Amino acid sequence: HNFSSLQPPPPGFKQFSCLSLPSNRLNEQASEEILKVEQKYNKLRQPFFQKRSELIAKIPNFWVTTFVNHPQVPALFGEEDEEALHYLTTVEVTEFEDIKSGYRTDFYFDENLYFENKVLSKEFHLNESGGPSSKSTEIKWKSGKDLTKCSSQTQNKASRKRQHEEPESFFTWFTDHSDAGADELGEVIKDDIWPNPLQYYLVPDMDDEEGEEDDDDEEEEGLEDIDEEGDEDEGEEDEDDDEGEEGEEDEGEDD
């Protein structure tokens, strides 16, 4: 039998354990103070966010471009998700008065070919037991346009069993409530995209950059060719001058 657990605590352990109690209380107080500061500045930011949303709404395809340029979000896109997100005009993240209790993300859409909803929302909150939970708007898909379900009618027998499985789609995020405490997309939108969407909207197109580099290379090659032609012309002029001088010398000797 192992009796090591019955050994008396080492000297000083009692004093150490007594010190940890006020330390824990201070940590709790610090957390409460930090929350108060966050609440204060969340209120101060609201007018800025509202004005920003008004300006963004005037920029065509702002949000779909922002999501497409993000390093993580496009991995969730299905075949037609990007097309559907072209109708997205506004994204808003609202943290609840008590920040600890959660937040809500709202997506505002123009009239589109895919669903009837004008707004799709997903809310994260604490349930009765204090654990993370989520709920969202039911998407009212138009006939044959449900992007969260397989729509192919030409699947063979081997793949027919997979017909009713949900494919990868951005819009499955609104129906997935399996693990609200580890909702990666929700956290990315709230903590990364929402505070500064412009950083992703303005990401340069790599194809355009490569095209510009090719143009620069062509321009440099053109300049080099011009320089070489100039050098050749100067060489020819020098030869002509030499021939002229030789001719003059010959005439002098004849005289």
Residue 136, Cβ density class (10 Å: 0-12 exposed, 13-18 middle, ≥19 buried): middle
Instruction: Please determine, for residue 183, whether its predicted confidence score (pLDDT) is greater than 60.
Output: yes
> Across all residues in the chain, what is the average pLDDT?
78
Residue 121, Cβ density class (10 Å: 0-12 exposed, 13-18 middle, ≥19 buried): middle
pLDDT at position 96? 85
pLDDT digits (tens, 9 = 90+) for 24-53: 788 888 888 887 888 788 888 889 999 999
pLDDT at position 19? 62
36's tokens: 């108060």
* 11-15, 82-86, 101-105, 244-248: least confident range: 244-248
Q: How many angstroms separate the CA atoms of 19 and 149, rounded? A: 57
Q: What is the pTM of this model?
A: 0.65
Write down all domains in the chain, each with its CATH number in brackets.
Answer: 23-202 (3.30.1120.90)
User: Rounded to 5 degrees, what are φ and ψ at 187?
Assistant: -70, -40
pLDDT at position 102? 87
| Comparison of pLDDT for 141 and 21, the residue scoring more | 141
